[in-house]
Amino acid sequence: MTIYVDPKLIGRKNFQKLVLQFPTVNFVTEVTRPTEIEALITMPKIVKEMDLDDYPKLKWIQYLMAGFDGLDLAKFREKNIDFCNAQNIFSKSIAEDVFTKIFYFNRNVKHYIDSKTEKKWEPIRGELELTNSTVLILGVGSIGKELAKRFKAFEAYVIGYRSRDLPEENFDEIIVTEENLNMAIQRADYVILALPLTEETTYMFDKEKLDMMRSSALLINVARGKVLKQTDLINTLKYKKIRGAGLDVFDPEPLPVTSPLWELDNVYITPHNASSSPYMRNRLYEMIIMNLSLYLEGQPVKYILN
């Protein structure tokens, strides 16, 4: 059995451990003979560029990213290929990043950094707490669930928006309709975008949605840049219609040096780095071990999307 593995994200050391743990598998790190490959454990590039007709034996793709935008999952289903993404790998670090962005604004971090540089003793009274705030999380996947768990520790009221009307631990409400979403946007102190990018979510958060937000509210985007209409957000921030925005993703990326977002004082920017963690490689490796073991045993793999 031949399985392709992209070793860059999991690291060479973990790749060698993988080879030793499954001695009966022929692991390859280059796609030179696609007709022999039965499974791909890979980053997006190969999957987005592949012609499935070149892979007659392919049965399983383990994607090493959570987001699957740009992929037509139906074509894998038609070929009876299981497509799995990397769930529960990046959610903890992304959740912590969201709180970093919120505290940047709530605790006036920039002001105190500037004050230290200028050696000025200038306290700001009445800084905001998360306690008793209302939080709207668009997307109740692994990131949304990790966020909700943490927000409940701050005694926040947590609303989740998704397509399925099912209760979820740590969420006070789950909403599914456009009408209820619009009502929740008007109530929320914090609006967090954690949705996958699909045809339905592309540019869903536009001027209409931004105009519904409270002037004291924060918007955080750790989803994909194209979930949010960036030109509309720039105008919203420029005229200070909301308190601010914490952004990790953009449209396009990298964010051009000419973008007005760089100049605005009510936006906190990170370069699509919310998932950064020293534990990422080991978590990916453990997920690969779990799913590869299931696959070799003829058992259903986890996190199938198609």
- 3-class SS of residue 61: strand
Q: Could you give the strand order of the β-sheet that contains 82-84, starting from the edge strand earlier in sequence?
A: 26-28, 2-5, 37-42, 60-63, 82-84
Instruction: State yes or no: pLDDT of 306 exceeds 90.
Output: no
Any idea what the CATH number is for the domain that residue 186 is in?
Answer: 3.40.50.720
Same domain flag for 181 and 261: yes
Same domain flag for 203 and 289: no
Single-letter amino acid code for the residue at 87: Q
Residue 303 lies in a domain: no
Predicted confidence band at 179 (pLDDT cuts at 50, 70, 90)?
very high
Same domain flag for 53 and 184: no
Could you report the per-residue pLDDT of 241-253, keeping only the tens digit for each? 999 999 999 999 9
Same domain flag for 134 and 262: yes
* Amino acid 24: pLDDT: 96
Single-letter amino acid code for the residue at 164: R
Same domain flag for 218 and 95: yes
Same domain flag for 72 and 99: no
- The DSSP code sequence of 88-143 is TSSHHHHHHHHHHHHHHHHTTHHHHHHHHHHT-----SS----TT-EEEEE--SHH
- 3-class SS of residue 170: coil
The DSSP bridge partners found for residue 268 are 246
Same domain flag for 110 and 127: yes
Same domain flag for 78 and 120: no
Instruction: Supply the range of the domain harboring residue 53.
Output: 2-89+278-296
Could you report the per-residue pLDDT of 79-94, keeping only the tens digit for each? 999 999 999 999 999 9
Region of residue 21 (left: phi > 0; alpha: psi -120 to 50; beta: else):
alpha
Q: Distance between CA atoms of 101 and 219, rounded to whole angstroms? A: 10
- Chain centroid to CA 112: 30
Same domain flag for 98 and 80: no
Region of residue 41 (left: phi > 0; alpha: psi -120 to 50; beta: else):
beta
Within 10 A of 305 (CB to CB), how many other CB atoms are there? 16
Same domain flag for 264 and 146: yes
Could you report the per-residue pLDDT of 95-153, keeping only the tens digit for each? 999 999 999 999 999 999 999 999 999 999 999 999 999 999 999 999 999 999 999 99
Could you report the per-residue pLDDT of 289-299, keeping only the tens digit for each? 999 999 999 99
Q: Supply the pTM of this predicted model.
A: 0.94
CB-based contacts of 114: which residues, under 8 Å, 6+ apart? none
* Amino acid 299: pLDDT: 97
Active site residues: 224, 253, 272
Same domain flag for 137 and 196: yes
Q: How far is CA 71 from CA 78, 89, 153, in A?
A: 14, 20, 37
Could you report the per-residue pLDDT of 185-206, keeping only the tens digit for each? 999 999 999 999 999 999 999 9
Residue 304 lies in a domain: no
Mean pLDDT of 279-301: 97
For the chain, give the percent of residues with pLDDT over 70: 100
Same domain flag for 137 and 212: yes
* Amino acid 9: pLDDT: 86
Number of domains present in the structure of the chain: 2
Predicted confidence band at 254 (pLDDT cuts at 50, 70, 90)?
very high
